[in-house]
Structure 1
Amino acid sequence: MAQLSTEVIGDERGTLLAFVEAQRTAIREALDGLTEEQAASRPSASELSLSGLVKHAAEAEFHWLRMAQQRPNERFRSNGAWRDGFRLTDDENIPSALAFWEEVRAELEAFIAAVPSLDDTFPLPEAPWFPKDGKVSMRWLLLHLVEEYARHAGHADIIRESLDGTKAMG
């Protein structure tokens, strides 16, 4: 299970990235020791699976990274295919989903290290749940990832415990 670092991260960027990584780790570790079939199963009332959560988390982080970079998302999925973002499809498997997430993690961390300030902003897309012409900061992005991953780490805990009784905290 996730270990807290004994290293003290001295600056805000490092601290926020450490919190994001702690939540990523909690989601990833829910897969420990499972087969592809177990990780794809949906043992609770939810339609979520552990492998689907990993894929969703990686793609969500990639999506937010591309928005912050103000670059097109080359993995964008049309609204009609949104369910495919919550399950492994075709030739996808847990190692490939984790490898993609690792690439995204490295790119996000390099991007955040390079931005002049966490106060730098980027525009939000047009959506009913965002303010018209809204912008958010890089700090907001990192806090949003902590929030998103913490929610999904809780989902992962419930799914894993439903599968085989394994508990994240003991």
Structure 2
Amino acid sequence: MVALVPTEAHGDERGALLNFIEAQRAAIRRAAHGLTEEQAASRPSASELSLSGLIKHVAEVELNWLRLAQQRPNERQRTQETWGDAFRLTEEETIPAILDFWAGVAKETEEFARSVPSLDDTFPLPRAPWFPEGGRVSVRWMLLHLVQEGARHAGHADIVRESLDGRTSFELIAAEQGR
């Protein structure tokens, strides 16, 4: 059964932020529930996004922010040549494999968020036209950004799923719960 609210909602700020991030992850995963690899890779709406591509993109974005906060190299860093591969599964990738990868990233994100001395700790932003020169953000900002990123793409995922078979993630929850 998939719950909209976690069974145990931690009252501390770190727990609350992690619960909100996980709620968005769950919404994205739920949108792909029961689909074949082919259905999840299809692009039934006006967008170029597919459900499998969204899952991969959100997992890689989370990893990128985690590595920035940890100030470690990103082992899946995209280049200009591989940027498009961040939005689709390549021939050797499957939804279960990407979900496993994302679960590992999620576990690492939680461990990092719980171990950092303060959510006020900051880390440098990379050089990019959309970031201020010499900019820094806090771990709290990063976690809130992951909520925002997840929510944006959970909405995309619902639209793509609904375009596929007319079902939304809320209908999938209700069906699982026998309602």
The TM-score range, normalised by the shorter chain, is: over 0.9
- Offset, 1:133: 0.3
Q: Work out the CA distance in 2 between the residues paired with 1:3 and 1:119.
A: 29
Q: Tell which deviates more after alignment, 115-124 or 160-169.
A: 160-169
Aligned residues of 1:43 and 1:162 also touching (Cα < 8 A): yes
Matched, 1:122 2:123: yes
Give 4+ residue runs of structure 1 displaced > 3 Å after superposition: none
- Offset, 1:107: 0.6
**How many equivalent pairs are there?**
170
AA aligned to 2:116 is: V
Match of 2:95 in 1: 94
- Offset, 1:3: 2.5
Q: How does 1:73-152 map to 2 (within 5 A)?
A: 73-152=74-153
Match of 2:19 in 1: 18
Match of 1:160 in 2: 161
**Tell me, which stretches of 5 or more residues in structure 2 are unaligned?**
172-179
- Offset, 1:7: 2.7
Structure 2 length as normaliser, TM-score? Answer: 0.92
Match of 1:31 in 2: 32
**Tell me, which stretches of 5 or more residues in structure 1 are unaligned?**
none
AA aligned to 1:144 is: H
Residue identity over aligned pairs, in percent, reads 68
Q: Work out the CA distance in 2 between the residues paired with 1:156 and 1:81.
A: 22
Two-structure CA RMSD over aligned residues (Å)? 1.0
AA aligned to 1:109 is: E
Aligned residues of 1:2 and 1:26 also touching (Cα < 8 A): no
Q: Work out the CA distance in 2 between the residues paired with 1:5 and 1:139.
A: 21
Aligned residues of 2:41 and 2:53 also touching (Cα < 8 A): yes
Structure 1 length as normaliser, TM-score? Answer: 0.97
